[in-house]
Amino acid sequence: MSQVRVRFAPSPTGFFHIGSARTALFNWLYARHTGGKFILRIEDTDKERNSPEFLKVILDSMRWLGMDWDEGPEVGGNFGPYFQSERTELYKAKLKELADKGKAYEKDGAWWLRLEGARSVVFDEHLKKEIEKVDAAPMVLNDLVRGRVERAEDRDFVIFRSNGEPVFHFVNVVDDIEMQITHVIRGEDHLSNTSKHLELFKAFGVKPPEYAHIPLILKTDGPGKMSKRDRGALIEEYQQRHYLPAAVRNYLCLLGWTPTDGREVLPIDDIIQQFELSAVHQSNARFDERKMSHVNAQTLRTIPAAEFAAIARPILIQNKVIDEKVSDARLTEVLAIVQEKVISVEHLPEFMGFFFTENFKKDENAQANLTKKGGDPAARLRELLPSLEACEWTDAGIEAAFNAAATTHQRKPTDFFAPARFATSGQGGGPHLLGILRVLGRDITLRRIKAFLN
């Protein structure tokens, strides 16, 4: 059996859309699952709307999401060039091939593909003008996701513009032929176009590849598919917000496909192993940022401490939470109690800033709620202070100090928690309290409590 060759063919005319990313991802997964090749091909035939910056956005995002390509820009390959703008001569030769066969003809300066069938002129309600319709035989597609789909193309269509540039449908098919693509995995918005592509394959006398049309990603609410302007639609947004790329990728897999082993958050190697085109869903899915956020938080718990520190350090430095002098050991110590609680790297600076400055923010809500449990916070802290001054400075020792204070003053240990938390961190929530105190150290803990009392 011949090797699987799939391609992702973005047009660098905008930002990297989440739907495009998911299409790229499914192609990449299929290539990795089958041990085939994943090809990146840049469809830049529309000169008006292309730019090098847009290309960089796509390549950077692809790399960020961990989708490496076997052939394409920057890596080369035996089927190049991989920019359609550099394949003009090929397209012209292929056009001539169709023209010579009588399958294409020139009209109004453009070249059209000639369909086979009886012709008639009718008024088209959509185009609001008279057009020539062709009673062509339906093209039959056995889609790997949709099953059998039959659709007849009913008009000759332009394959080369009057300005001499080929159109999408033509280059798409020519390149798929030349690059020996075996499987075309793309969004369902192309399903209706497929009859055009099948007509082209037929005109060339080439057997078409397998097709798999995957469902679209719809807006969270409101009608229609995700558009560039929708919140959460652009991959770069997640990069900027320090989402974990593995989490974004994992969530994207969940829109249109379900892992077979019952897990939703799982390593990419396991996803690759389980991924099958036949298991891809047929219905569109609505984007849900909250679920994605959940996947992100779950993924966060699974990464090794050293890796977490490597991710966190530059972000903390950038936000002036720490400076370069803070040691890895110290950072890892703090991160160890933070990692199990924080829900996103994005929140790290505010979540753990108090470990590194005496000038930490004080949450007004938390302060207002201090008296709810345990009464007067200052009184509780005065009762607690002697125990903290005397105890062994370990989790167990600090816990014992809270218990001792509780016994002495006939209270519950929890009565001391909110005041101690607020005095040392300015927050009402956060990492485990005993961990906070232990990591802060006795000196700073006592100093902050005394500062609160004054």
Partner RNA sequence: GCCCCCUUCGUCUAGCCCGGUCAGGACACCUCGUUUUCACUGAGGUAACUGGGGUUCGAAUCCCCAAGGGGGCGCCA
Please, which residue, 183 or 186, has the CB nearer to RNA?
186
Q: Which two tokens stand for residue 452?
A: 């609160």
Cis status, amide bond into 386, omega within 30 of 0? no
Q: How far apart are CA 390 and CA 279, in angstroms?
A: 63
Which residues face 107 on adjacent strands?
110
- Residue number, 331 or 436, with CB nearest to RNA: 436
Nearer to RNA, 231 or 347 (CB): 347
Shortest reach from residue 35's CB to RNA, in Å: 25
Nearer to RNA, 36 or 436 (CB): 436
Rounded to a whole number of angstroms, the minimum distance from the CB of residue 416 to RNA is: 10
**200 neighbors 136 (Cβ within 8 angstroms):** no
Residue 228 annotated in active site: yes
Considering 56, 92, 228, 412, which one is annotated as catalytic? 228
Q: How far is the CB of 71 from RNA (least distance, A)?
A: 18
The nearest distance, CB 232 to RNA, in angstroms, is 12
Q: What angle do CA 409, 413, 416 make, to 5 degrees?
A: 85
| Alpha-carbon separation of residue 21 from 18, 62, 255, 273 (angstroms) | 5, 8, 12, 20
CA–CA separation, 211 and 182 (whole Å): 9
In this structure, are residues 59 and 26 in contact, taking their beta carbons and an 8 Å threshold? no
Of 168 and 393, which has the nearer Cβ to RNA? 168
Which of 20, 63, 92 shows the shortest CA–CA distance to 255? 20
Instruction: Map residue 127 onto helix, strand or coil.
Output: coil
The 8 Å CB, 24+ separation contacts for 127-136 are: 131/155, 132/156, 136/199
d(CA 422, CA 220): 37
Looking only at the bridges linking them, the beta strands covering 217-218 and 285-286 are parallel
Nearest approach in angstroms of CB 313 to RNA is: 19
Between 11 and 36, whose beta carbon lies closer to RNA? 11
Please give the backbone phi and psi of residue 129, each rounded to the nearest 5 degrees, phi first: -160, 170
Cα Rg of the chain, angstroms:
30
Q: How far is the CB of 367 from RNA (least distance, A)?
A: 13
- Residues involved in catalysis: 228
